[in-house]
């Protein structure tokens, strides 16, 4: 299992994953947004070669007022989120 949030924020985490997979670590391409499929579903290719400027950890906030989205966040999901990702500022607003 990979923790996407940690992978995005922590180069050492990415290095450790590469080591566990017996890959040579290289962050070349980390800032590239591939054009395949139109790039990012949120930003297209607008941030190509500067992908770290995309606010990927806060995209969930785009759906905070969507009732279907909000209904997914029961106490069990919130508990798993806390265990996997730790505290994420603002997610307390999703609690039912």
Nearest to 90 by CA among 66, 54, 62, 50: 62
Distance CA 91, CA 51 (A): 24
Predicted confidence (pLDDT) at residue 96 exceeds the cutoff of 70: no
Predicted confidence (pLDDT) at residue 5 exceeds the cutoff of 80: yes
Predicted confidence (pLDDT) at residue 95 exceeds the cutoff of 90: no
Average pLDDT for 67-94: 89
* Residue 92 pLDDT: 84
Taking the CA atoms of 25, 28, 30 and 35 in sequence, report the sign of the dihedral they define.
Answer: negative
Domain definitions of the chain by residue range? 1-54, 56-96
Q: What share of the chain is helix, strand, coil (3-state, %, to 5)?
A: 50, 0, 45
19-47, pLDDT tens digit by residue?
A: 999 999 999 999 999 998 999 988 999 99
């Amino acid at each position: 299992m990979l923790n996407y949030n940690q992978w995005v924020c922590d180069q050492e985490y990415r290095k450790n994953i590469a080591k566990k997979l017996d890959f040579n670590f290289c962050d070349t391409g980390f800032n590239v947004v591939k054009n395949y499929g139109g790039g990012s579903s949120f930003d297209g290719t607008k941030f190509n070669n500067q992908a770290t400027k995309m606010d990927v950890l806060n995209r969930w906030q785009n759906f905070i007022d969507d009732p279907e989205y909000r209904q997914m966040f029961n106490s069990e999901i919130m508990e798993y989120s806390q265990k996997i990702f730790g505290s994420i500022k603002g997610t307390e607003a999703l609690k039912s």
